[in-house]
Chains A and B, each alone.
Chain A
Amino acid sequence: MFAESDLNARNKRVQGLFRMLFLMMTVLLIVPVAIILFTLVSKGGSVISIDFLFTNPTDGMTAGGIFPALLGTVWIVAVALLASVPLGVAAAIYLNEYAGDNWFTRLIQLAIINLAGVPSIVHALFGVGAFVIFFGFGTSILAASLTLAIMTLPIVIVSTRESLRAVPQAFREACWNMGATRWQTIRRIVLPNAISGILTGVILEVSRTAGETAPIMFTGAAFFLPFLPQGVFDQTMAMSLHLFVVATQVPGVPEELPFGVALVLIAMVLIMNSISIAFRMYLRGKKKW
């Protein structure tokens, strides 16, 4: 009565087949990442040292370290964050907590989606036109960072909105029913509970900003500079552009140097991502609903 029928057996075979197929697809996903990391470490690992991180490039960038580029990337990312985080978080709060569902809100949402879809090189040209020329910032950290900020704004808005949306509506209703205004509700209940998600989004944005090349190469990042930036109106070297330069533009670079630069860049990104994930896990563990 409970024995396996032919149909059962066939269904089982098919089910096993699909399971195998999906598993293989998943494994395939990991392969490129593993190969990239392995190649970078094996070919570029030898150049990594404290000196490499903290000295200037020498001999026409065929030797020496990467300090100006490393510091430049930190500058660009920091200024970009200062611009995009307040703007993006404020916009997300408006959209999620205040705006009704009307044509205006939908138009803004459409604009955000489209902003996310604009190719980075187009952002770069916009940055040149708007920040370098029109606002007169010149090719500078400020112009590069603002270009990046506009490019990453959709990520901040979308991730912030998602964190805000994750705060149960019942909390808001509880507040409103005690006579709290929207702002009191946001300030006392919604933001404290959404902050982990917002910060996670911000950190993910950092890692993306750090790796971008196109938007900064015309707006603020320099091929080579013999000095460090002193302020936001200076140009600077940057990791991503430096990698491009030593890999393709300069003759006589030892083979392991570009790999070393790439390894440092990817390590920065991975470290930021890990911090973000660890942080999120820590804060989630503390939540109780």
Chain B
Amino acid sequence: MNAIIDQDDNQSPEYAIHTRKLNLWYGTFQALFDVDLSIRNGMITSLIGPSGCGKSTFLRSVNRINERLGYVRIEGDIDVLDNNIYDPAVELVQVRKQIGMVFQRPNPLPISIRDNILFGHRLHNKGSKADQDEIVESALKQVLLWDKVKDRLNHKGTELSLEEQQKLCIARLLPVKPSVLLMDEPCSALDPKGTAAVEELIWELRGEYTILIVTHNMAQARRASEECIFMLMGKVIEHQATEDLFVTPAQKETADYIEGRYG
């Protein structure tokens, strides 16, 4: 595993997400096998692999949204910023606050653009009305959406184009100051132009947030991530700097996959 950029900030841990022997079952079907991953703080890491390889499952266990299904059983640990999120003392609301999630299909709420941005902020900051305009402006600026929507902040978020909706979905996570952003195929519902725009935005957010992005699109993984993880049948096959993984894969399965022999 090669480090591309060494994090010289001593305050924050080297790894944002760290799993040990993570096993996950849906009922009797085992979806993850002994996953040991260390995902670097402040970097963009992509997860690739054929359908059903467990990449989305892994993503969804990092913010504990999987367990809502009821029939999911998990063994092993997931540490986020050195705290085990499966510890019984952990408050789920705090987990969700630290770890934002972006979905495949943009899901803005059917309220105004402004209220979409402030939704999370209002959940976590009781009664503080101050600075709301600033919060909205800075979040929308960060996702490169401000100039397009500043004159129609009262329009519904659901009226925007898909690309803008997805950016809005990313923007609304920012006011609660998460440290990790999980993205589950964030561009697969978008056209090529929208994809490029959202990728550009993800790249902009690099450094400030740890971003873990699941994608079916190998070219996207290559363009828009710094480290890349290849998964197959619920196991991690390879985890390398993106450039190395695509140029000199260490495992045969990885080479076969990136050359398009399956998946």
Contact = CB atoms under 8 A, between A and B. Distances in A.
Interface string B233-259: 000000000000000000000000000
A187 to B, nearest CB: 11
A32 interface: no
Contacts, number: 62
B103 to A, nearest CB: 7
Contact of A171 (B68, B93, B109, B124): B109
B107 A179 contact: no
A289 B119 CA distance: 19
B71 to A, nearest CB: 10
Interface in B95-121: 95-97, 100-101, 103, 105, 107-111, 119-120
29 contacts: A168-B107, A171-B109, A173-B107, A174-B109, A174-B169, A175-B109, A175-B119, A176-B68, A177-B65, A177-B96, A177-B100, A178-B97, A178-B176, A179-B92, A179-B93, A179-B96, A179-B97, A179-B123, A179-B124, A179-B176, A181-B93, A184-B123, A188-B119, A189-B110, A189-B111, A193-B110, A288-B110, A288-B156, A289-B158
B114 to A, nearest CB: 14
A173 B108 CA distance: 10
Interface in A272-289: 287-289
Contacts of A289: 110, 158
A288 B165 CA distance: 13
A116 to B, nearest CB: 28
Nearest to A174: B107
B51 interface: no
A170 B110 contact: no
B94 interface: yes
Nearest to B122: A188
Contacts of B103: 170, 173-174
A63 interface: no
A180 interface: yes
B159 interface: yes
Interface of A: 100-101, 168, 170-171, 173-181, 184, 188-189, 193, 287-289
Interface string B60-79: 00010100101000000000
A195 to B, nearest CB: 12
Interface of B: 63, 65, 68, 70, 92-97, 100-101, 103, 105, 107-111, 119-120, 123-124, 156, 158-159, 169, 172-173, 176
A180 B118 CA distance: 13
Nearest to A179: B96
B110 A178 contact: no
Contacts of A168: 107
A184 B92 CA distance: 14
Given A171-B110, A178-B120, A188-B119, 20 more contacts: A100-B70, A101-B70, A170-B105, A170-B107, A173-B103, A174-B108, A174-B169, A176-B65, A176-B68, A177-B65, A177-B96, A178-B176, A179-B93, A179-B95, A179-B120, A184-B123, A189-B111, A287-B110, A288-B159, A289-B158
Contacts of B173: 178
A181 B103 CA distance: 19
Contacts of A177: 63, 65, 96, 100-101
B65 A180 contact: no
A100 B111 CA distance: 28
B94 A179 contact: yes
Contacts of A171: 107, 109-110
Nearest to B106: A170
Contacts of B108: 174
A142 B108 CA distance: 46
A165 to B, nearest CB: 16
A138 to B, nearest CB: 48
Which 5 pairs show the lowest CB-CB distances between chains A and B? A179-B96, A170-B107, A178-B120, A179-B93, A177-B101
Contacts of B68: 176
A175 B110 CA distance: 12
Given A178-B173, A179-B93, A179-B176, A288 B158 contact: yes
Contact of A176 (B96, B111, B169): B96
A21 to B, nearest CB: 42
A279 B105 CA distance: 31
A120 B19 CA distance: 61
Contacts of B107: 168, 170-171, 173-174
A287 B159 CA distance: 10
A180 B110 contact: no
A176 B101 CA distance: 10
